[in-house]
A and B are shown apart, each in its own frame.
Chain A
Amino acid sequence: MTEPLWPALLGRFGWQDLPFVRAWADPSLSEIIGAGAGALVVVGGLAVVVLITWLGRWGYLWREWFTSLDHKRIGILYVVIAFTMLSRALVEAVLMRMQQAAAINAPGFIAPDHFAQLFTTHGSIMIFFMAMPFLTGAINYVMPLQIGARDVAFPLLNAVSLWLTAGAAGLMMVSLVIGRFSTGGWTGYPPYTELAFSPDVGPDYWIWAVTLGSIGTTLSGLNFAVTIYKLRCPGMTLMRMPMFVWTSLCTSILMIFAMPPLTVATALLALDRYLGFHFFTNDLGGNMMNYANLIWLFGHPEVYILILPAFGVYSEVIATFSSKELYGYTSLVIATMAIAVLSFTVWVHHFFTMGQSANINAVFGIATMTIGLPTGVKIYDWIWTMFRGRVRFSVSMLYSLAFMMTFVLGGLTGIILAFPPLDYLVHNTLFLVAHFHNMLIPGLLYGMLAGYHYWFPKAFGFRLDEKWGRISFGCWVVGFYLAFMPLYVLGAGGMTRRSQAVFEPAFRPWLYVAGVGALVLLSALASLFVQLWVSIRNREANRVPVGDPWNAGGLEWSIAAPPPEYNFAVIPTVNDRDPFHGDKADGDPYAPPKRYEAIAMPANSMTGPALGVLGAVTAFGLVWHMWWLAGFGLAAGIATIVARSFVRDLHRTIPAAEVARIDRHWRRDIRKAKPVGRAVEGTPANRGLAEVEA
């Protein structure tokens, strides 16, 4: 424990809370790595600030991005957060894999406490600050376009959600520089995370980062659900919505109802830690089993929040790149809804071993097996979509194919885990770790990457580099199999999860293979960044200004790439699914509107960034017991909300002449472009205008 430096001002902060001071005192490799990470954050943050200042772009960033309420800008910022945090968490994974490979009857190079922080941050970041922002960003960008809307129902709330998430992610990064993180795993089980066993700042960082993020997510779910219910364009009935919108709707419903249990669990833990309550303590009536119950009431629907948007992406991608209509739309809708509702009935399978009766376990085991059925229906629908289609092996399609095969394997191990007696054997072993990575990487991550490749041209106006896309894909798939298949063997062989040290020499070859896999996965990530660099460099050659590079059917493809701020010059009316396919088949997909009208868009607002910063400041104050700072942050946050409510001028009007000018500019691009067939869609000949067969 560290000596507080200046309690009145700095709470419980002391010099020892800086990793640089700790590494100086104890220059072990473990401490040096920790200090290096902290240094990276500081230097990296400074470098970004210096770069932006040198380029003179603060004004631009503030006006065009940070205070924008445009769902497209907000969506992109979410994805930026996701990629940034993915980089950190993947490096943490590599460190853990290297440690386990090195620590077979040897100390390794990462100390136990450091290792525990690594697995905690890895899980917390991947779930809350990589996966959630990635899918929230995808839904944010794509869903309003697909329903023919100009923005989400509550644009300011959207910005607030983004900035709360950003503030929480910032808090995670600050924990690398000041203090330490929790060692209690991403689910933070008490009594280990109670004051009696973890009096340090770690669990507090975890609690507040997760709380800020979860508030953001709940509000996003609310926003998306209301948008889909209320803002669909004329003619778009529920059964004419694209599958990505259906999955976004069900994801939103899950967000609305599944985040509150997390808020309750972390809030009660905070009450225990800050005010001496006894919800989950060992003494005076605490019941830590209720924590497991609450956290998994959240945790199970959470994994369906993670996977449903990916399923939506696959539906879009597989249909488009099979050059065929999506098979079994109604069954896909019913399956999605079934998954959403059933996801609230299976949470006990995360703690089969906690001690409840066999009958209770049996009920939840059966429910868990049941939830595999609608997913199976979806897989069949996707296979039937490809059947007799003309399948094109674009990068997005490659991810979808890898998903279908690999995810099903993981699903089978899920059915194994759904049997309580089998679960008793492998609970908390690497078998479980292999299972959930087998669901999340081929499921969620490939889905998000498929979506990234699919919609990037729409968002930025040029396609991503194909070659590096395939290199990255190859590394992701090979890396995944190498890194995680051995874990099934290790888990079945008895190796416990979260182990800093290994004492069974028989595990060695498997751990080595897994280690190599981790390095391949790191290459996969690096390839993605190379791809982005190359794509930006080659952007002129790969421009698709007309906006339909893949000959797809959703409304988002019927507008320019990048789209204008207001999305549609005239709100479309639809009369079928895949309305753009219908328009193209009818022969005049780019008919100009009869007249242009002025469009009112939400004016920029600094409320989002203000609340994000103030939320993070309040959280930081709470973590370090700087009560003055926490109080200030909270008061200023409330004042910001009240002040915003007094603002009357909430809109900016874009004059009809301006709308007309932007639209005509796009129509010039359409006239200049030549329609291309699918054979050349990956070449510079593709300007985003699809050749439609009669």
Chain B
Amino acid sequence: MTSSKADAAREVRSYAIGYLLALLLTGFAFGAVYWRVASATTTFGIVLGLGLVQMVVHFRFFLHITLGKSSRADLQLILFSTLIIALMVSGTLVILFNLHHRMM
């Protein structure tokens, strides 16, 4: 059970994969903006999408949040928090933009 060196190598490889994926996703996002690949709204959509994927990469490879049993409680907490945050942020944006629109 103590093949520590092999475990360590596997873990380093996992972090390295996460790092590489994150680099790629970052590069694509910055590239999309720098080289103006699409219209403003589409580009922003691409940026947000890539950002979301990169967050998942960080959660999976750096924070070890998987669908497995050991991180179940953490995953439930993160998903619940995401729900609350989505409610609060979307509510704020909808309400304030509605108010802005009605003030103009």
A348 touches B (CB below 8 Å): yes
B53 CB → nearest A CB, Å: 25
A344 touches B (CB below 8 Å): yes
Among residues of A, the one whose C-beta sits closest to the C-beta of B102 is A355
Task: Find out whether the CB atom of B98 lies under 8 angstroms from the CB atom of A297.
Answer: no
A337 CB → nearest B CB, Å: 11
B95 CB → nearest A CB, Å: 6
Our pick among B80, B81, B84, B96 for the contact of A287 (Cβ within 8 Å) is: B96
Cα A281 to Cα B71 with chains together (Å): 45
Q: A229-B73, A257-B81 are in contact. Are A356 and B88 (CB under 8 A)?
A: no
Compute the total of residue contacts between A and B using a CB distance below 8 Å: 38
Cα A253 to Cα B88 with chains together (Å): 15
Task: Find out whether the CB atom of A261 lies under 8 angstroms from the CB atom of B95.
Answer: no
Q: Which of A261, A294, A360 counts the most B-chain CB atoms under 10 A from its CB?
A: A360
Among residues of A, the one whose C-beta sits closest to the C-beta of B94 is A360
Our pick among B81, B96, B103 for the contact of A290 (Cβ within 8 Å) is: B96
B40 touches A (CB below 8 Å): no
Chain B residue contacts of A297, Cβ below 8 A: 88, 91-92
A259 CB → nearest B CB, Å: 12
B8 touches A (CB below 8 Å): no
Chain B residue contacts of A348, Cβ below 8 A: 91, 95
Among residues of A, the one whose C-beta sits closest to the C-beta of B81 is A257
Would you give the 0/1 interface string for A266-309, flagging 1 where the beta carbon is closer than 8 Å to chain B? 00000000000000000000010110011001000000000000
Our pick among B73, B84, B87, B102 for the contact of A357 (Cβ within 8 Å) is: B102
A198 touches B (CB below 8 Å): no
Cα A356 to Cα B92 with chains together (Å): 12
Interface positions of B from 60 to 100, Cβ below 8 Å from A: 73, 80-81, 84, 87-88, 91-92, 94-96, 98-99
Our pick among A229, A257, A293, A360 for the contact of B84 (Cβ within 8 Å) is: A257
Task: Find out whether the CB atom of B102 lies under 8 angstroms from the CB atom of A293.
Answer: no
Chain A residue contacts of B81, Cβ below 8 A: 257
Chain A residue contacts of B99, Cβ below 8 A: 289, 354-356
Task: Find out whether the CB atom of A344 lies under 8 angstroms from the CB atom of B88.
Answer: yes
Cα A287 to Cα B98 with chains together (Å): 13
Would you give the 0/1 interface string for A609-640, flagging 1 where the beta carbon is closer than 8 Å to chain B? 00000000000000000000000000000000
Q: A229-B73, A356-B102 are in contact. Are A293 and B87 (CB under 8 A)?
A: no
A535 touches B (CB below 8 Å): no
Among residues of B, the one whose C-beta sits closest to the C-beta of A294 is B92
Task: Find out whether the CB atom of B96 lies under 8 angstroms from the CB atom of A293.
Answer: yes
Cα A297 to Cα B91 with chains together (Å): 10
Would you give the 0/1 interface string for A530-542, flagging 1 where the beta carbon is closer than 8 Å to chain B? 0000000000000
Our pick among B80, B87, B103 for the contact of A345 (Cβ within 8 Å) is: B87
Interface positions of B from 3 to 43, Cβ below 8 Å from A: none
Task: Find out whether the CB atom of B98 lies under 8 angstroms from the CB atom of A293.
Answer: no
Interface positions of A from 245 to 275, Cβ below 8 Å from B: 253, 257, 261
Task: Find out whether the CB atom of B88 lies under 8 angstroms from the CB atom of A289.
Answer: no
Interface positions of A from 339 to 357, Cβ below 8 Å from B: 344-345, 347-348, 354-357
Task: Find out whether the CB atom of A360 lies under 8 angstroms from the CB atom of B98.
Answer: yes
Task: Find out whether the CB atom of B88 lies under 8 angstroms from the CB atom of A357.
Answer: no
Cα A347 to Cα B92 with chains together (Å): 10
Task: Find out whether the CB atom of B103 lies under 8 angstroms from the CB atom of A355.
Answer: yes
Cα A344 to Cα B80 with chains together (Å): 12
Chain B residue contacts of A261, Cβ below 8 A: 88
B20 CB → nearest A CB, Å: 34
B79 CB → nearest A CB, Å: 13
A82 CB → nearest B CB, Å: 28
Task: Find out whether the CB atom of B73 lies under 8 angstroms from the CB atom of A293.
Answer: no
Among residues of B, the one whose C-beta sits closest to the C-beta of A301 is B84
B15 CB → nearest A CB, Å: 26
Q: Which of B87, B95, B98, B103 counts the most A-chain CB atoms under 10 A from its CB?
A: B95
Chain A residue contacts of B102, Cβ below 8 A: 355-357
Interface positions of A from 57 to 78, Cβ below 8 Å from B: none
Chain B residue contacts of A357, Cβ below 8 A: 98, 102
Among residues of B, the one whose C-beta sits closest to the C-beta of A256 is B81
Q: A229-B73, A257-B81 are in contact. Are A356 and B95 (CB under 8 A)?
A: yes
Chain A residue contacts of B80, Cβ below 8 A: 253
Q: A355-B102, A355-B103, A357-B102 are in contact. Are A289 and B96 (CB under 8 A)?
A: yes
A138 CB → nearest B CB, Å: 25
Q: A257-B81, A290-B92, A293-B92 are in contact. Are A356 and B87 (CB under 8 A)?
A: no
Cα A355 to Cα B94 with chains together (Å): 13
B99 CB → nearest A CB, Å: 5
Cα A257 to Cα B73 with chains together (Å): 17
Cα A344 to Cα B82 with chains together (Å): 13
The 24 sampled A-B contact pairs (Cβ below 8 Å) are A229-B73, A253-B80, A257-B84, A261-B88, A287-B96, A289-B99, A290-B92, A290-B96, A293-B95, A294-B92, A297-B91, A297-B92, A344-B87, A344-B88, A347-B91, A348-B91, A354-B99, A355-B99, A356-B95, A356-B98, A356-B102, A357-B98, A357-B102, A360-B95
What are the nearest 9 A-B pairs in CB distance?
A356-B98, A257-B84, A289-B99, A356-B99, A344-B87, A357-B98, A356-B95, A355-B99, A297-B88
Give me 4 other A-B pairs in contact (C-beta within 8 A), A344-B87, A356-B95 excluded: A344-B84, A344-B88, A356-B98, A356-B99
